[in-house]
Amino acid sequence: MEFNLAALPVTNRKTIPPEYIDIMGHVNVMWYTHILDYGTRNLFALFGYGEEYVRQTGNGSFALESHIRYLTELHLGQSVSVRSRLLDRSDKTIHFFHFMTRDHDGCLVATIEVLGAHTNLTTRRITPFPPSILARLDPLLAAHQALPWDPPLCGHIGVRKK
C-alpha cells in the first residue's frame, strides 16, 4: 500500500521500549493500540477536543467501533510515527483513521479506523458536538477530505447520516 502521508499531521511518535516486547520477541498487540490511542488524543487536541475540553465541559469521547490491521512486526528500539486523517462526522460522531509507520524506512506498520462519539460524561449519553469544536474540526476535516487518495477502509465503519 502506498499513501502520501506527508499532508497528514503527526499525532504521536514512540521509540519501542523493552516492556513492549512480548514472548514472541516483538511488540505485543496491546502496545500497538496504546500508541495509536495517543494518536487519537493528539488528533482531538488539534481541534480543541483534548483534556482541557473534557475538564472544562464534562464532555468527552467514547469509541464506538474500530478496525485495526497489523501489517508488520515492530522490535525493540524501533521508532514509529502515527499520522492521522479525519474522514467524516455527523452532529454527534467522528470517523477517523491512523497510519503507523516505522521511522527508519517509512514502512506502514499498522492502521486503525475508528468511529467515536461526543459524549456527556455525567449522563453517559452521546450528544452533539458544540459549535466551538466544529469551528476547528470542520476546516481540518475538509482539508483531509480533499486529499487525492483514499485510505484503506474496512468498509464496515462509518458515520450514519440522517
Domain that holds residue 50: 5-145
**Assigned domain for 150 exists:** no
Cβ–Cβ < 8 Å for 22, 74 = no
**Assigned domain for 123 exists:** yes
**Assigned domain for 152 exists:** no
pLDDT in tens, 65-77: 999 999 999 999 9
pLDDT in tens, 53-108: 999 999 999 999 999 999 999 999 999 999 999 999 999 999 999 999 999 999 99
Report the distance separating Cα 10 and Cα 158, nearest Å.
23
Q: What is the CATH number of the domain that holds 11?
A: 3.10.129.10
> Taking the model in full, what pTM does it have?
0.95
Residue 160 pLDDT = 84
Cβ–Cβ < 8 Å for 105, 114 = no
- 72 to 26, 56, 78, 80: CA distances (angstroms): 10, 40, 12, 12
- 46 to 23, 42, 109, 139: CA distances (angstroms): 37, 7, 24, 11
**Assigned domain for 53 exists:** yes
Domains of the chain: total: 1
**Assigned domain for 162 exists:** no
**Assigned domain for 160 exists:** no
Q: Which residues pair with 108 in a beta bridge?
A: 101
Q: Which of 105, 70, 107, 100 is nearest to 84 (CA)?
A: 100
Grid cell of 72 as nine digits: 508488520
